């Protein structure tokens, strides 16, 4: 059963540790539809947004945050037990205490007792782990709503990695087509992000409307989608705007557009005759496409891992023909055969024609090899010539003492590779965020998915830094 509003807020959620930086009205008891932030508060990722309208409850996104707090307890191979992952996360308040949300199996004998579903629907904005990574903990009867492309991506990731999302009644939504869940209506809008098929949502309740941006940018190949979403938000005249702020606050990292990345790759390839190496996020289809076209233009072939080959093959049919290169069909695309003892079924179609290290080493000038960080031991066989370029096409580390960054540089130094940074972020910049907030004229703005909610203060008095677990009315006084 759903306990009374106030009781749940006080008893079940961890106390907020941060005082709001701007005046938030403190309703003793909130009337009407509310929004609660059960994650993504003063942290990057981990959004868990609960919208309640009378008996109807809808959750948006459900994944772990990238905050250091989780790593206080779980790091590397020290992870929650697969027999009762929710219990092991609840122990450290790494999950919200919501009854009627988790599966019996995930809870095990946790101190949060199992209850049949009290949330009618979960919507996933996109397939990144910090938004979808905890889906497997959900009660398997709760429907999970995703875009068709996200469904494809989640399937491909679950097949080709250890990440699992659980069994659910999957519901595939259409762009711009409203979905009704009791009194709540949700309208999905595609937005531009560093993984394809990302969405923002307009949410209409019995009293008030809200927009949730998910993660977005407007300097990538789908910028027009982001513009259309924000136009719809402005037109709707939403009461509440939930906006991500990954890049809000101090951010010294250089950011390029996707076209800027392309010109940078072109420049590096133009000046080198050795094997060129690149490293990017494995699900950044735009970047893989950019690397492929740059390689072809430079008279090289892009060589990708078997996992990337599988992902491209799965998602390509969701794009217009020819946009996403498919191994075996697109010119200038090859698959790399890592030295492995075993192969999985999904890998086999690619292995017959995959290139071994000896071939890539012998004809280095002919290839641009995109390796994952975890594949670095292949460098021992590849022996790139000293001075060969390494294209780091990912975000720069946040801090100078980033351990894996140091490890990467140790490898590059060992082989004498020359580091080139070139990246287009998946997120809008701080100034862009402020501009968008002004344009939407929402009555209340909640920065989430950010470590710096205070950076939103210049957008004016409508901005409220949300507190974890607290219920905010969706309809704001006019
Ligand atoms: Zn995110």
Measure 299 CA to ligand 1 centroid, in angstroms.
36
Integer CA distances (angstroms), 444 to 168, 464, 466, 477, in order: 34, 7, 11, 10
CA 1 to chain centre: 32
User: Would you give the end-to-end CA distance of the chain in angstroms?
Assistant: 34
Please name every residue paired with 170 in a beta bridge, in sequence order, or none if there are none. Answer: 144
Residue spans of beta strands (DSSP E) within 130-183: 144-147, 170-173, 179-181
Measure 449 CA to ligand 1 centroid, in angstroms.
7
What are the sequence ranges of the domains in the chain?
5-250+427-473, 258-421
Q: Which helix (H) or strand (E) holds 471?
A: strand 471-473
Instruction: Determine the Cα–Cα distance for residues 15 and 470; give it in Å rounded to an integer.
Output: 9
Query: Maximum Cα–Cα distance for the chain, whole Å?
Result: 72
Helix, strand or coil, per DSSP, at residue 29: coil
Burial class of residue 243 in the structure, from the number of CB atoms within 10 Å of its CB (0-12 exposed, 13-18 middle, 19+ buried):
buried
Please name every residue paired with 425 in a beta bridge, in sequence order, or none if there are none. Answer: none
For residue 180, what pLDDT is reported?
98
Measure 43 CA to ligand 1 centroid, in angstroms.
10
Helix, strand or coil, per DSSP, at residue 96: coil
For residue 163, what pLDDT is reported?
93
Q: What is the pTM of this model?
A: 0.91
Which stretches in the chain have pLDDT values below 70?
1-29, 398-402, 476-478
Measure 296 CA to ligand 1 centroid, in angstroms.
32
Instruction: Determine the Cα–Cα distance for residues 81 and 260; give it in Å rounded to an integer.
Output: 43
Measure 127 CA to ligand 1 centroid, in angstroms.
9
For residue 119, what pLDDT is reported?
97
Measure 141 CA to ligand 1 centroid, in angstroms.
25
Asked, colleague to colleague, whether 5-250+427-473 and 258-421 share their fold, the answer is no
Measure 13 CA to ligand 1 centroid, in angstroms.
22
Instruction: Determine the Cα–Cα distance for residues 159 and 163; give it in Å rounded to an integer.
Output: 8
For residue 18, what pLDDT is reported?
34
Residue 215: Cβ within 10 Å count: 27
> Is CATH 3.40.50.2000 the right assignment for the domain spanning 5-250+427-473?
no
Handedness of CA 90, 91, 97, 101 (dihedral sign): positive
Measure 158 CA to ligand 1 centroid, in angstroms.
19
For residue 282, what pLDDT is reported?
87
Dihedral pair phi/psi, residue 421, rounded to 5° = -90, 130
For residue 28, what pLDDT is reported?
46
Measure 246 CA to ligand 1 centroid, in angstroms.
8
For residue 405, what pLDDT is reported?
87
Strands 389-393 and 418-421: parallel
Measure 19 CA to ligand 1 centroid, in angstroms.
24
Please name every residue paired with 203 in a beta bridge, in sequence order, or none if there are none. Answer: 186, 210
CATH code at 258-421: 3.40.50.10710
Which of these, 398, 458, 411, 409, lies nearest to 432 by C-alpha position?
458
Measure 243 CA to ligand 1 centroid, in angstroms.
11
For residue 401, what pLDDT is reported?
64
Length of the chain: 478
For residue 9, what pLDDT is reported?
31
């Amino acid at each position: 059963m759903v306990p009374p509003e106030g009781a749940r807020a006080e008893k079940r959620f961890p106390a907020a540790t941060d005082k709001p930086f701007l005046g938030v009205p403190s309703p003793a008891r909130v009337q009407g539809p509310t929004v609660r932030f059960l994650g993504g508060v003063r942290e990057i990722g981990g959004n868990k947004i609960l919208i309640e309208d009378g008996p109807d409850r809808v959750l948006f996104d459900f994944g772990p945050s990238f905050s250091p707090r989780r790593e206080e307890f779980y790091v590397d191979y020290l992870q929650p037990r697969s027999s009762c992952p929710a219990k092991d996360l609840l122990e450290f308040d790494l999950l919200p205490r919501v009854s009627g949300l988790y599966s019996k199996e995930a809870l095990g004998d946790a101190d949060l007792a199992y209850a049949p579903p009290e949330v009618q629907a979960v919507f996933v904005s996109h397939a990144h782990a910090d938004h979808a990574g905890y889906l497997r903990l959900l009660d398997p009867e709760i429907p999970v709503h995703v875009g068709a492309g996200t469904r494809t991506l989640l399937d491909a990731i679950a097949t080709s990695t250890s990440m699992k999302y659980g069994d659910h009644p999957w519901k595939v939504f259409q762009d711009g087509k409203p979905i009704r869940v009791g009194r709540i209506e949700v309208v999905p809008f595609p937005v531009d992000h560093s993984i394809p098929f990302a969405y923002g949502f307009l949410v209409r309740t019995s009293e008030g409307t809200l927009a949730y941006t998910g993660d977005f940018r407007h300097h990538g190949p789908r910028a027009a989608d982001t513009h259309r979403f924000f136009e719809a938000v402005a037109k709707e005249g939403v009461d509440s705007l939930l906006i991500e702020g990954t890049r809000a606050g101090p951010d010294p990292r250089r950011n390029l557009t996707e076209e800027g990345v392309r010109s940078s790759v072109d420049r590096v390839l133009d000046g080198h005759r050795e094997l060129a190496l690149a490293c990017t996020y494995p699900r950044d289809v735009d970047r893989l496409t950019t690397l492929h076209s740059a390689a072809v233009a430079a008279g090289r072939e892009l060589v990708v891992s078997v996992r990337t080959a599988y992902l491209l093959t799965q998602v390509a049919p969701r794009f217009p023909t020819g946009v996403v290169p498919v191994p075996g069909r697109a010119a200038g695309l090859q698959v790399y055969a890592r030295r492995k003892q075993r192969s999985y079924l999904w890998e086999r179609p690619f292995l017959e024609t995959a290139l071994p290290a000896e071939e890539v080493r012998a004809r280095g000038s002919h290839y641009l090899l995109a390796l994952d960080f975890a594949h670095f031991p292949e460098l021992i066989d590849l022996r790139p010539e000293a001075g060969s370029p390494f294209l780091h096409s990912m975000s720069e580390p946040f801090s100078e003492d980033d351990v894996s960054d140091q490890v990467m540089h140790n490898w590059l130094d060992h082989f004498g590779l020359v580091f080139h940074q070139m990246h287009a972020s998946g997120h809008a910049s701080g100034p862009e965020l402020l501009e968008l907030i002004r344009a939407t004229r929402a009555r209340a703005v909640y920065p989430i998915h950010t470590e710096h909610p205070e950076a939103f203060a210049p957008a004016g008095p409508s901005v409220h830094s949300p507190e974890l677990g607290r219920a905010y009315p969706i309809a704001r006084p006019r």
